């Protein structure tokens, strides 16, 4: 269908004509009020969808604005009902609460549900939300609409309805192409790289809604290894020999990416990790360690903001100026990297444990993982160097500890980390205190 849609030429001017606004408004009302029945309402909804898909960005913004301004809450009625509820008691109060709740469902919700009933309707709603996320960043009037759409999608994409499916080299090429394009952490370079990630000692799981089986939502990539690998390069190396999976003791989650932009903010990560662990244990019961090899995306930016000298001891201060070193191509310079190693790992531990702001850290800790270890020069990719100064973190999921860890972090705000990482962070703290003193 999409193939035959003619996007209105931007050159014609993106804005809607008065006539178009009027038509859209009419169609929206017809759909929502449904006076001529469900079938007729769906015809109007279908017309609105086609029109929307043909609109250029500016027109889409206006279209959504029309929704937001004309199909929103009826505030007078809302105020009335709120007052009625405050006055009510007993059974009457229950009725008033229900009435208020219904009045807080904006009329646009009915339009969104109608869109969902069109063929391929759910896909359209996901595209709509992708637009809304972008546009509401500039135009807060769209926020309630965006939030309501999110709420609806959250209900429909509840993890209770999702499935984790293994992706292999026997999966449809179209699916593999889509997954490869969505790999946001470690770019897939060609079909050879992709095939390697689907080899006998790799696992690739996609999270899928049965209603959209060809549109994966999220995926996770796993390497089966003996011991936790120190560098992501070792994981991605296409020349490395294939390991017999039944001999592996460790499953390394080396990449988790979202595929569907329309579901941003709908949390699947926890589900995907839990289900993948279940699948892995069912298939390979000999696995002992579930670990990640993760970026530390905020480390370098934080580093830049610090007086690095404060984290060094006297000897180190003599030998290196951290910021100056980092500005160079230090990873290739053996002396530089050897001098940087200890101080940088120390600062990284401080950043993770004491700042506790790193998004990836917070994701894994809230899922019940423990920060286990830092690896030096573990990601030499341009992004790895630019964001994480080449350091990577390993989070370990210990099935027996997941609950306690989650409670420690989410309940008491404690950063769950191994002794060695804690020691590094303590060192950093002491050095800084001494320096401050």
Query: Which of 26, 79, 137, 301 forms a contact with a copy of itself (CB under 8 A)?
Result: 79
Q: Which residues contact 388 (CB under 8 A, 6 or more apart)?
A: 295, 296, 297, 299, 300, 379
Q: Does 410 bind a copy of itself (CB under 8 A)?
A: yes
Nearer to a copy of itself, 237 or 403 (CB): 403
Among 122, 136, 255, 292, which residue sits at the site for a copy of itself (rule: CB under 8 A)? 122
Q: Which stretch binds a copy of itself (CB under 8 A): 53-61, 228-236, 309-317, 406-414?
A: 406-414
Is 197 in contact with 219 (CB distance < 8 Å)?
no
Binding range to a copy of itself, per CB under 8 A, among 153-161, 258-266, 284-292, 293-301: 153-161
| 82: contact with a copy of itself by CB under 8 A | yes
Q: In what order do the strands lie in the sheet with 250-258?
A: 163-166, 202-208, 218-225, 250-258, 289-292, 392-397, 370-375
Q: Where does this chain touch a copy of itself (CB under 8 A) — which range of 9-17, 168-176, 338-346, 377-385? A: 168-176
Give the C-alpha separation, 353 to 348, whole Å: 8
Query: Is residue 23 near a copy of itself by the rule CB under 8 A?
Result: no
Residue 294 bears catalytic tag: yes
In the complex, the smallest distance separating the C-beta of residue 322 from a copy of itself, rounded to whole angstroms, is 38
d(CA 61, CA 46): 19
Q: At what angle do helices 37-54 and 57-70 cross, to 10 degrees?
A: 140
Q: CA nearest 359: which of 324, 321, 330, 387?
A: 387
Q: Which of 31, 136, 255, 294 is catalytic?
A: 294
| Contact call for residue 184 and a copy of itself (CB under 8 A) | no
Q: Please calculate the CA angle 360-366-367 and round it to the nearest 5 degrees.
A: 95
Nearer to a copy of itself, 99 or 289 (CB): 99
Q: For residue 184, count other CB atoms closer than 10 A to its CB.
A: 11
Residue 364 designated active-site: yes
Q: Which of 77, 211, 341, 423 binds a copy of itself (CB under 8 A)?
A: 211
Under 8 Å between Cβ of 169 and 198: yes
285 binding a copy of itself? (CB under 8 A): no
User: Of residues 5, 26, 86, 189, which one binds a copy of itself by CB under 8 A?
Assistant: 86
Catalytic residue among 44, 186, 209, 364: 364
User: Cα dihedral angle (192, 195, 197, 201), rounded to 10 degrees?
Assistant: -120
Tell me the sheet residues that pair with 252.
Answer: 223, 291
Which residue among 160, 285, 382, 400 contacts a copy of itself (CB under 8 A)?
160
Which residues ranging from 368 to 387 are in contact with a copy of itself (CB under 8 A)?
368
Tell whether residue 238 is a contact of a copy of itself (CB under 8 A): no
Q: Is 182 in the site for a copy of itself (CB under 8 A)?
A: no
Number of CB atoms found within 10 A of residue 164's CB: 20
**SS3 label, residue 419:** helix
> Residue 93 is inside which H or E element, if any?
helix 90-103
- What CA dihedral angle connects 43, 46, 48 and 49, to 10 degrees? 180
Answer yes or no whether residue 70 interacts with a copy of itself by CB under 8 A: no
Q: Cα–Cα distance between 437 and 424 in angstroms, integer? A: 20
- The footprint of a copy of itself on this chain (CB under 8 A) covers a number of residues equal to 69
Give the residue with the Cβ less far from a copy of itself, 74 or 321.
74
Q: Which of 10, 15, 22, 98 binds a copy of itself (CB under 8 A)?
A: 98
Cβ–Cβ under 8 Å, residues 367 and 270: yes
As measured in angstroms, the least distance from the Cβ of 141 to a copy of itself is 9
Binding site for a copy of itself (CB under 8 A): 3, 35-40, 73, 75, 78-79, 82-83, 85-86, 91, 93-94, 97-98, 100-101, 104, 113, 116-118, 121-122, 140, 143-144, 147, 152, 155-156, 158-161, 168-177, 191, 195, 200, 210-211, 214, 270-271, 274, 366-368, 402-404, 406-407, 410-411
**Which residues are the active-site residues?**
294, 364
């Amino acid at each position: 269908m999409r193939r035959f849609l003619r996007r209105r030429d931007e050159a014609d001017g993106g804005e809607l004509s008065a006539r178009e606004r009027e038509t859209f408004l009419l169609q929206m009302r017809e759909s929502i009020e449904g006076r001529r029945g469900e079938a007729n309402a769906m015809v109007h909804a279908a017309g609105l969808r086609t029109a929307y898909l043909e609109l250029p960005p500016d027109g889409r913004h206006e279209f959504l604005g029309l929704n937001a301004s004309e199909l929103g809450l009826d505030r007078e009625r809302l105020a009335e009902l709120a007052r009625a509820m405050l006055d009510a008691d007993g059974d009457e109060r229950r009725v008033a609460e229900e009435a208020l709740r219904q009045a807080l469902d904006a009329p646009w919700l009915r339009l969104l549900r109608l869109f969902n009933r069109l063929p391929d309707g759910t896909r359209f709603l996901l595209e709509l939300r992708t637009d809304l996320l972008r546009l509401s960043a500039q135009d807060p009037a769209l926020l309630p609409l965006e939030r309501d759409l999110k709420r609806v999608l959250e209900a429909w994409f509840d993890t209770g309805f999702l499935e984790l499916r293994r992706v292999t080299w026997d999966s449809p090429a179209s699916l593999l192409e889509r997954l490869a394009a969505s790999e946001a952490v470690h770019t897939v370079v060609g079909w050879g790289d992709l095939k390697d990630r689907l080899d006998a000692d790799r696992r690739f799981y996609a999270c899928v809604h049965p209603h959209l089986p060809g549109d994966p939502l999220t995926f996770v990539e796993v390497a089966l290894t003996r011991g936790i690998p120190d560098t992501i390069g070792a994981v991605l190396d296409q020349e490395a020999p294939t390991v017999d999976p039944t001999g592996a003791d460790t499953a390394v989650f080396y990449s988790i990416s979202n595929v569907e932009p329309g579901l941003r903010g709908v949390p699947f990560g926890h589900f995907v990790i839990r289900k993948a662990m279940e699948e892995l244990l069912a298939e390979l019961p000999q696995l002992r360690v579930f670990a990640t090899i993760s970026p530390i995306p905020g480390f370098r930016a934080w580093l830049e903001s610090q007086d690095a000298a404060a984290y060094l001891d006297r000897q180190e201060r003599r030998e290196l100026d951290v910021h100056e070193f980092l500005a160079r191509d230090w990873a290739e310079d053996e002396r530089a990297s050897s001098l940087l190693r200890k101080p940088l790992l120390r600062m990284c531990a401080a950043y993770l444990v004491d700042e506790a702001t790193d998004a990836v850290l917070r994701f894994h800790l809230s899922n019940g993982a423990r920060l286990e270890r830092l690896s030096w020069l573990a990601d030499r990719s341009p992004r790895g160097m630019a964001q994480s100064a080449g350091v990577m973190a390993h989070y370990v999921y210990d099935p027996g500890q997941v609950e306690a860890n989650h409670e420690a972090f989410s309940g008491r705000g404690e950063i769950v980390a191994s002794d060695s990482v804690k020691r590094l962070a303590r060192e950093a703290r002491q050095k800084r205190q001494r320096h401050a003193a």
